[in-house]
């Protein structure tokens, strides 16, 4: 498997991981027909940039280690999730923005009033996904669960009062599982980008050009909207 990098004049196959928790709807689903927002956008970027890619399935807790050891070459991340030290890591460079993602404090409606301020989580137990970044997780006690689905189930079972989860994932699993939830304070809000090893920085111009072209064509927004429409079709409680 190879392709010719238009700008670098070399053959390269970039390995990447997008799986998140594995139950990361709508961003990654594992379904070949509807793989998720991340796989669809990345495939469009690679095709447009004329770069060959290979998806490597990894649990979230192994992604960073795999980047550092070179088992994979890039992933998708929001710098809003990262501490300043992590954002400034010289091992990585970042692409132009793909699209925006917001994460919230999410609880059952009866507890919602308590979690309207981000400062409310300081010193408290907070539901998180194993292996995920949380820029302020030194301020609260992480209670790690395997996936976004398990976070919503933990709320339903009253194992804890509040979790951190992306807005779209919360909406999907709330409706899919029949669990009413409420959004509290925003925990992070930022643009997702491709985070790629510094040694491939010479590929950024063609990656960024592909992203620009796909934005101009409306491809990225249409992929995102397709999955939002799927969520909106699920009956509400």
Same domain as 93, residue 105? no
Same domain as 146, residue 34? no
Give the model confidence (pLDDT) of 86-132 as tens digits: 999 999 999 999 999 999 999 999 999 999 999 999 999 999 999 99
As a whole number, the mean pLDDT across the chain is 93
Min mean pLDDT across 26-35, 117-126, 220-229 is at 26-35
Q: Give the domain range for residue 107.
A: 101-188
Same domain as 18, residue 95? yes
Same domain as 221, residue 162? no
DSSP string of the chain, one letter each residue:
---B-TTT-SB-EEEE---TTS-BTTTB---SSS--HHHHHHHHHHHHHT-EEEE----HHHHHHHHHHTS--EEEEEGGGS-HHHHT-TTEEE-S---EEEEEEEE-GGGGGGGSSGGGGTTSEEEEETT---TTTTSSEEEEESSHHHHHHHHHTTS-S-EEEEHHHHHHHHHHHT---EEEEEEEEEEEEEEEEGGGGGGHHHHHHHHHHHHHHTHHHHHHHHHHHHHHHSPP-
**Domain count for the chain:** 2
């Amino acid at each position: 498997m190879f392709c010719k990098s238009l700008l670098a004049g070399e053959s390269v196959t970039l390995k990447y991981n997008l799986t998140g928790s594995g139950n990361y709807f709508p961003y990654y689903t594992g379904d070949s027909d509807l793989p998720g927002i991340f796989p669809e956008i990345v495939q469009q970027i690679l095709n447009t940039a004329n770069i060959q890619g290979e998806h490597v399935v990894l649990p979230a807790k192994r992604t960073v280690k795999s980047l550092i050891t070179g088992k994979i070459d890039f992933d998708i991340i929001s710098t809003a999730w990262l501490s300043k030290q992590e954002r400034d890591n010289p091992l990585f460079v970042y692409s132009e923005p793909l699209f925006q993602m917001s994460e919230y404090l999410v609880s059952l409606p009866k507890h919602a009033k308590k979690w309207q301020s981000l400062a409310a989580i300081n010193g408290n137990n907070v539901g998180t996904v194993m292996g995920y970044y949380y820029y302020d997780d030194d301020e609260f006690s992480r209670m790690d669960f395997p996936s976004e689905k398990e976070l919503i189930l933990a709320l339903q079972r009253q194992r804890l009062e509040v979790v951190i989860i992306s807005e779209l994932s919360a909406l999907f699993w709330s409706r899919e599982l029949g669990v009413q939830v409420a959004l509290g304070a925003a925990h992070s809000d930022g643009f997702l980008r491709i985070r790629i090893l510094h040694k491939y920085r010479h590929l950024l111009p063609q990656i960024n050009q592909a992203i620009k072209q796909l934005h101009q064509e409306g491809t990225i927004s249409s992929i995102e909207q397709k999955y939002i429409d799927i969520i909106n079709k699920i009956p509400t409680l």
